[in-house]
Amino acid sequence: MPFFTPPSAQPSTTSLSPPNSNSNTPTPISLSPNNTSQSQPTNNNNNTSHVPISPPHHSHTNLNSTNIPIQPPTTTTNPPTNIPSIIEKPAAATSLPNSLPGSHSMVTRSKKGIFKPKKLYTVSKFPLPITIEPSCPSKAIKIAEWKSAMSDEFNALLSNNTWSLVPPHSSQNVIGCKWVFRIKRNPDGSVARYKARLVAKGFHQQPGIDYTDTFSPVIKPQTIKLVICIALHHNWSLSHMDVNNAFLNGTISETIYMSQPYGFVHPQYPNHVCKLHKSLYGLKQAPRAWFQALQKFLLDYGFQNAKSDTSLFVYVQANIIAYFLVYVDDILLTGNDPIFLSQFQQDLSTRFSLKNLGTPSHFLGVEFVPTNNGIFLSQQHYIRDLLESTNMHDSKPVSTPMSTSCSLVAPTDAPICDVTAYRKIIGSLQYLSLTRPDISFSVNRLSQHLATPTSLHLQAAKRVLRYLKGTITQGLHLTRDKSFNLTAFCDADWAGDRTDYKSTAAYIIYFGPNPISWSSKKQRTVAKSSTEAEYRTIASTTQEIIWLQQLLTELHCPLQQKPTLYSDNLGATYLCANPVFHSRMKHLAIDYHFVRDLVQADKLQVLHIPTGSQLADLLTKPLSSSRHSLLTSKIGVVDPSTILRGRVEDKII
């Protein structure tokens, strides 16, 4: 409680005085247990020294109670050194000037030295659990599991001749490095191993000096699903391999200097820097250098690099055919000759350090579950982790990812929500759409507000999470089929966006009975009619069909018949087959001739389909619960307990 100072008193000399006599000299109060005299506070403005005040003592008071330190208010005069620094409880009595009318005694206690404990330091006293990924190496190096992982990584770098120590020089651009820790888990969630990786701080690199080209390709999701379908068709086995420290196998041509890693500084040369000879994680050119090293080995072995997908390599010799797919350091291998595949894996492991994981159970975060007639692809663990990280694991499920009455047009003065959290959710949902085409439209709409999301958009994103919670076990079931045919469904929601009146175009393409490619995207220009919007969608779908045909040709799997494309717009369908061209369609000349030439060359068939049977309708706009559930099951997103589907032709009602 603040001290009140009357106008006549000096703020800097307000003091607390013990009972005293007529003498102006303050008298110390004895703290002996024999002292039972009671003291009454009085006011004496001449006293400038502060003396600890003893509270009233009674005969029944426990004088041996715990002592409490007390500090009097700060003044210009220091207390005498012979005065005791502690007193017994209760706290000292603070006297107010009794010259004021209505003044009375009040018991207070100094707050100096009393504070809440800082949790930061309290938590750091306990050891870090080994099931938590540490954020700094100083904590990780104190734990045996993480220290062993750091030593393994460091020894691997030394054995690979990744760098050599050189004296520092002022002209060197020395980049930093850091340790990154990850826990590798088994499919059931248990800890498989502890991984520590030394990463260079590539953001310190200077363009044109430390690096030039940085692009490195990865395998496309459509190619992965297409190769799986071909392997199922021929009853081929799939092999999953992982390259250990893949980026360390690349060779760099630039001269790069890096500081020594924490915890492994050379005791004899602590000030030296590392001159890199091999690529390292974190360098901007590291992915490109690794891919070039792998590409050179495969081409020398006899593989051919596919032009339709640069990360696909095809081996065709005599009666042997093999497919090699690579996504950074994850490899998927299949073919018709098990002896050749086994020999190739041995030769590959001789050149690079590999882990042969056998039949894939997890590939790029997608779970592979074998069934009697194919493979079931899902991302259940990824969805569970996403729900946990967003605190939506206890949310109430909903039947559709987006409400039919949902409007994402926020007021102009609406506050912006947490941009980082919103972008993290949308990025995770985009990755989930690799096996869940039923959320593609919702993810596309929400992705259009990444710059300035509001609470309205965040609520819409959380609704998608609630939908995933109710359908967490659903996924794609790729089945074995004898036919090699491409079938496409395309649709457009004309002027569906009420802000700029642009249309939403969508398509889904099947290889046999299995969906392998789909898209939901807003068109770049405003369509003047529904026919124009639908025709532009047909043109973009045809581009994807042509690319898939070229990919199948390089895989040596030619189609048995020409692709079929279904559209529910009669006007757009007639434009594909009939030479109808007038002034209202002049601005569509390129798209018009592109599709029409393929139809006339008998390389594409465009047919009309009723709107009720249009499967791509699921990817163009929000639907009712019953309609959404019906189309979701028809496009191939099913629960593993209900894996009973017919052919694509059976999907047309």
**Can you list the domains of the chain with their CATH numbers?**
1-113 (no CATH), 137-354 (no CATH), 376-470 (no CATH), 481-621 (3.30.420.10)
The beta-carbon contacts of 294-301 under 8 Å, at least 24 apart in sequence, are 294/249, 294/326, 294/352, 297/348, 297/351, 297/352, 298/324, 301/344, 301/347
- At 105 the pLDDT is 59
Q: What is the pLDDT of residue 321?
A: 96
| pLDDT of residue 85 exceeding 90 | no
Residues 303-326 pLDDT 10s: 999 999 999 999 999 899 999 999
Percent of the chain exceeding pLDDT 70 equals 76
When pLDDT is cut at 50, 70 and 90, the band that residue 110 belongs to is low
Pairing of strands 605-608, 564-567: parallel
Q: Which ranges constitute the DSSP H helices of 100-159?
A: 119-123, 137-140, 144-159
Q: What is the pLDDT of residue 119?
A: 47
Give every CB contact of residue 405 below 8 A, 6+ residues apart in sequence.
none
Question: According to the model, what pLDDT value does residue 593 have?
Answer: 79
**What pLDDT band is residue 558 in, cutting at 50, 70 and 90?**
confident
278 has pLDDT over 50 = yes
Average pLDDT score over residue span 49-70: 44
In the chain, the percentage of residues whose pLDDT exceeds 90 is 55
Residue 61: is its pLDDT beyond 60?
no
What is the rounded average pLDDT for all residues in the chain? 81
Residue 130 binned pLDDT confidence (cut-offs 50, 70, 90): low
Give the burial class of 242: count Cβ atoms within 10 A of its Cβ; 0-12 exposed, 13-18 middle, 19 or more buried: middle
Tell which residue, 597, 539, 604, 543, has the closest CA to residue 569.
Answer: 539
* Predicted confidence (pLDDT) at residue 112 exceeds the cutoff of 80: no
Mean pLDDT computed over 114-125: 50
Q: Is 215 helix (H, G, I), strand (E, B) or coil?
A: coil
pLDDT for residue 17 is more than 90: no
This prediction's pTM: 0.75
Tens of pLDDT, residues 172-204: 899 999 999 998 887 677 888 888 999 999 999
Distinct helix (H) and strand (E) counts, the chain: 15, 26
Helix 455-470 × helix 440-447 angle, to 10°: 160
- The pLDDT of residue 407 is 80
Asked whether residue 126 carries a pLDDT value surpassing 70, the answer given is: no
At 463 the pLDDT is 96
Least confident among 45-49, 447-451, 497-501, 590-594: 45-49
The pLDDT tens digits of the residues spanning 408-455 come to: 877 776 788 889 999 999 999 999 999 999 999 999 999 999 998 999
* pLDDT the model gives residue 224: 96
Dump pLDDT digits (tens) for 483-515.
Answer: 889 999 999 998 878 788 899 999 999 999 999
Statement: residue 88 has pLDDT above 80: no
* CA 557, 562, 567, 571 torsion-angle sign: positive
